[in-house]
Amino acid sequence: MRQLHSLSIRRFFSGTTISRISGMMREISMTAIFGTHPSVAAFLVAFRFANFLRRIVGEGPFQSAFTPCFEELRLENEKEALYFFHKLTLWVILFIICIITIAQGTIWSISLFLQVPTAIYEILQLTSVLLPASLFICLYGLNLSLLHSYNSFFIPSIAPTICNLIWIFGIYQVRHQATFPAMQTLAKWVVIGFIGQWLFTFLYIKKYLTFSWKEWFKPTFLSKISSLIKKVAISVLGVAALQINGWIDAIIARYIDLRGPTYLWYGIRIQQLLLALIGISCVHTITPYLTKMIKNSNIDNAQEIFSRTYHLIVTMMIPCTFAIFGIGLPAVNLLYGRGNYSSDSIVQTGLCLWGYGLGLLPSTLILLFSSIFYAYDRPYIPLRISIITVILNIVLNIFCTMNLECGAFAIAGMTSISSWVNCFLLYRELSHLGWHSKLDAARIMHLICASLFALICCFSIYPASLLAPFMKEPYGLSRVGINQIGALLMQICTFWGSLLVYSCIVKKNDFISCLRLFFYKNIIKEIETS
């Protein structure tokens, strides 16, 4: 088990790294060719619907509910567990087809009978084209959950690369078209990309596929599926609330500036890169083990693993948060600073990245904390808290944009504040269940001081990385490729080098030890040998 877990976290990390790099190549291609055109903003808003279903079925809530049900059946009879998976797949297909049909009918009715502004019309048309992708996203999510149950992490984590490559191909196929027709054609390529992503995982689950009409009518399956649906439904409401929050953010940003949603999207993509590589890699590989231990009443070991993972995330994410401020703007300039992406767009995206960067740590901890409640069959707690924080976020966004007349970056900042509130409330509820993991205040202060020292070094070496947003054209940022690469590499080396030097000078190796634990060691093994 120890060796298996060690391989799992490394395979998940490597697969996720490859898929995220391909995702950044996709964003680079989008920005270089289309820039921040309002039609691109409409495309990104429409894409959030498909992304909404990915969040439900492809990530956390569904997997957290599916794993206990599947593992319980597999302990009794593996064949019956696989029949349960097959029947669940059929139910999901029928459900998603119904949703797509209703949504298409609604869009058609609105377009036919109502006169809507051009900005809304573009969103509706692009959503209509992207809707079929939802089915294949959900099927991919089902395959992902099954493969994770069999400790296969590399294949499902690398599968999004297929979609990203097809997306990139589509971008270059439509680059000479007018922007809105190009987005319509690109949406079709995105649908093909999600089909390819699902087919890639399907090839690896074929060996688990069996079929028997007799098994389909067993009442056991009906009870298990109804139990799963109940858990997922509650979880979905929580995720839906957060996704609705994202849509409202995009709408408010579009109200401020037609290009506002593009700044938010490209800013959060970089934040999510760090979140996926470090936070999600840890949480998603730890969650199945935590769930099994809690179900087997092995609470002491589960709490120890939780505590160690908690400290690992905090230690890794505090420096990463400061790094976003020191490295963020040069990174945005290197990734997006070419083609039709203007200098002003670079700065606005950088500010949004700073805003989202403040929520990097709580966003990771929310995933960890929520998994405990799902394991205890208490998904209504994250649901209640998510609804509270969504309402808070909406109020803060409206206040900042309407009263203070702030830009899109304020929306990103308010989202981060809401994440902190969500994280605090979840931890408070966890403490009521007896899950305590107090952090060493001295250790936290050391990490903050070390990270602040590294940030000051970055500012001293390359002032444009922090001052550019407050300067007039050209913001001190070069659009020459060699200069862009040089500025980013200089900032990366300065920040992380300063961080390590500071740690060595004060003889504190917290960050270094966490790096070794993340890349080379097994958390469970570390606990047992410490």
1 membership: H or E segment, kind and range: none
Residue 210's pLDDT is 65
Q: Where are the chain's structural domains?
A: 1-8+50-206, 218-530
Closest CA to 332 of 262, 394, 281: 262
Residue 528's pLDDT is 46
Residue 75's pLDDT is 73
Check pLDDT > 80 for residue 413.
yes
Buried b (16+ CB within 10 A) or exposed e, 75-91: eeeeebbbbbbbbbbee
Check pLDDT > 90 for residue 296.
no
Q: Which amino acid is at 401?
A: T
Report residue 163's pLDDT band, with 50, 70 and 90 as the boundaries: very high
Residue 258 three-state SS: coil
The upper half-sphere exposure of residue 439, i.e. CA atoms within 13 Å in the direction of its Cβ, equals 17
Residue 230's pLDDT is 65
505 vs 44: CA distance, rounded Å: 46
Establish whether the linkage from the previous residue to 474 is cis, with ω within 30° of 0: yes
The tens digit of pLDDT for each residue in 364-379 reads 888 888 878 877 777 7
Q: How far is CA 453 from CA 33, 457, 491, 495, 507, in A?
A: 38, 6, 13, 9, 15
Residue 462 tokens read as 């390359």
The tens digit of pLDDT for each residue in 73-105 reads 777 777 777 877 877 788 788 888 888 899 889
Report residue 5's pLDDT band, with 50, 70 and 90 as the boundaries: very low
Give the residue with greater pLDDT, 68 vs 489: 489
Tell me the range of 12-16, 53-57, 304-308 where mean pLDDT is highest.
304-308
Residue 64's pLDDT is 61
Residue 341 tokens read as 């992406």
413 vs 85: CA distance, rounded Å: 41
Of 124-128, 294-298, 417-421, 516-520, the range with the lowest mean pLDDT is 516-520
The upper half-sphere exposure of residue 299, i.e. CA atoms within 13 Å in the direction of its Cβ, equals 6
| Beta carbons within 8 Å of 338's beta carbon, 6+ residues apart | 31, 32, 479, 481
Mean pLDDT of 306-315: 82
6 vs 369: CA distance, rounded Å: 22
361 vs 321: CA distance, rounded Å: 7
Closest CA to 356 of 438, 274, 299: 274
Predicted TM-score (pTM) of the model is 0.77
Report residue 232's pLDDT band, with 50, 70 and 90 as the boundaries: low
The tens digit of pLDDT for each residue in 425-444 reads 988 888 888 887 777 777 78
Closest CA to 424 of 365, 356, 338: 365
471 vs 386: CA distance, rounded Å: 38
The upper half-sphere exposure of residue 163, i.e. CA atoms within 13 Å in the direction of its Cβ, equals 24
